[in-house]
Structure 1
């Protein structure tokens, strides 16, 4: 029997809950709230851990587990890399991935005072987290208004690329690709519905592109936000470690199989 640990304060998350239901037919699942168990010696060890949370305590817990030889998916270093949009852009650029050109500013107030050309620009928090800043700015007045609320926020900027207003949400679990279309939060009217999209309906070579993202970033479970800038030309605008992957048939099965395979590989390697 394999024990799979979930590093999350929300084990009832739909993807995790469905994966847990599959695993518990023959195995054990242990949920670990990283805000309450902030070190690797807290409680019995599982054979493999799924790192869904991305808080500093969750990363510290994952690093401690890795130091003890326990496999963690995704690894703490890869997860942390995807939280820093500056480092993310550098890694993607060095690998030749079609990633949106990114500039970094110490604070949004610094950006507002920089005299950077406006029209249109996407401004994002440098450090990816829940309820972070993602906004389209079309004028100095809009930028100044944003700076009133987020003055001290470290930010990155990306030039707004004309597109259909729909984001391609592409997720990968151990090389298996899942996809959907979602109305962009930057489109007029804000974020809209998510529509199902079979991987075979992606533009040519996009599936191979997002699988390569995982190789470049050392990720096993991740999401890539891609926009079509015309004629099927992809532009990657964000990469997320262990996203929700809601409503994707086969995703819980793929995640359960990955966890068990990694746990067995770790045992075989001892």
Structure 2
């Protein structure tokens, strides 16, 4: 089999581990989104889209138009980059996603009416080093203006919780789980603590797999907070996350690539 990796970083631990498992019997080729065009060359049996930049999405679309299978698809990946569209899609499907409203810029939000109690402000477009902040006062919101004034943002209700996020990842039919202190907690984000998915509250595993069905994802992450007595609230969905600290994740990804190919 020929497996293509759409990524600027084939040495990422998840991809490197997957490549090590596949390479003895299969060909693994990395395509850098900044330089690869997707035209002309023979198609791989499957491509793993571990990048979310506009150039990476354009490359994935070119390959898809030529008949290639891409995991995740360009359309599904792009949907998870827009938190407004993400929230609309999830709530229309009946998923317990945090109530979300969008603003063209942070400046527009600042100039509006006072915020009703604690809220969470996030960049509308999900990416590395984006804006994620709990806001308890107008002063805190205005303090973001010098850096983020023209940033498109979303506003989410803040739901009281334990201060720990449940980081849940799916690769094909495999579910992985960890606990991580929320970046909104006063203590700040801490390291992830792997947990047995069997210890999740009843119904959570099914909920996470339902997310994949709704969004058309094969490799994805779901951030859930427990709002009390095991009641889940989805606060983010990520296409092809790193799934760090999960020893079996590379094997699950290698198996998924081969089954798809």
Indicate whether the TM-score tops 0.5: yes
Q: What is the TM-score with the length of structure 1 in the denominator?
A: 0.95
State the Cα distance separating 1:78 from its structure 2 match: 0.1
State whether residues 168 and 179 of structure 1, in contact with CA within 8 Å, keep that contact through their aligned partners in structure 2: yes
| Counterpart-to-counterpart distance in 1, 2:52 and 2:192 | 24
Would the aligned equivalents of 2:169 and 2:175 in 1 still touch at CA under 8 Å?
Answer: yes
Is 1:87 aligned to 2:85, yes or no? yes
Does 1:140 find its partner at 2:138? Answer: yes
Which one is further off, 76-85 or 108-117? Answer: 108-117
Query: How far does the alpha carbon of each residue in 1:86-111 deviate from its partner, in whole angstroms, 9 at most, with x for none?
Result: 00000001000000000100100000
RMSD: 0.9
Aligned ranges for residues 20-59 of structure 1 at < 5 Å? 20-37=19-36, 39-41=37-39, 43-59=41-57
Give the gaps of 5 or more residues in structure 2.
Answer: none
1:7 aligns with 2:6: yes
Cα drift, residue 40 of structure 1: 1.4
Q: How many residues align?
A: 261
In structure 1, what is the equivalent of residue 96 of structure 2?
Answer: 98
Unpaired runs of 5+ in structure 1? 264-270
Dislocated runs of 4+, deviation >4 Å: none
Deviation (angstroms), 1:118:
4.1
Cα distance in 2 for residues equivalent to 1:126 and 1:204: 31
Quote how far apart the aligned CAs of 1:193 are. Answer: 1.8
- Name the counterpart of 1:268: none
**Contact 1:109/1:152 (<8 A) preserved:** yes
* Structure 2 SS opposite 1:93: helix
Paired residue secondary structure (1:249): coil
Offset, 1:46: 1.4
- Name the CA distance, whole Å, in 1 between partners of 2:145 and 2:98: 23
- For 1:196 and 1:116, how far apart are their aligned partners in 2? 39
Counterpart of 1:262 in structure 2 is: 260
2:207 counterpart residue number: 209
Contact preservation (8 Å) 1:118, 1:139: no
TM-score normalised by length of structure 2: 0.98
- Whole-angstrom distance in 1 between the partners of 2:53 and 2:97: 25
Query: Do 2:220 and 2:238's aligned partners in 1 also have CA atoms closer than 8 Å?
Result: yes
CA distance in 1, matches of 2:10, 2:212: 24
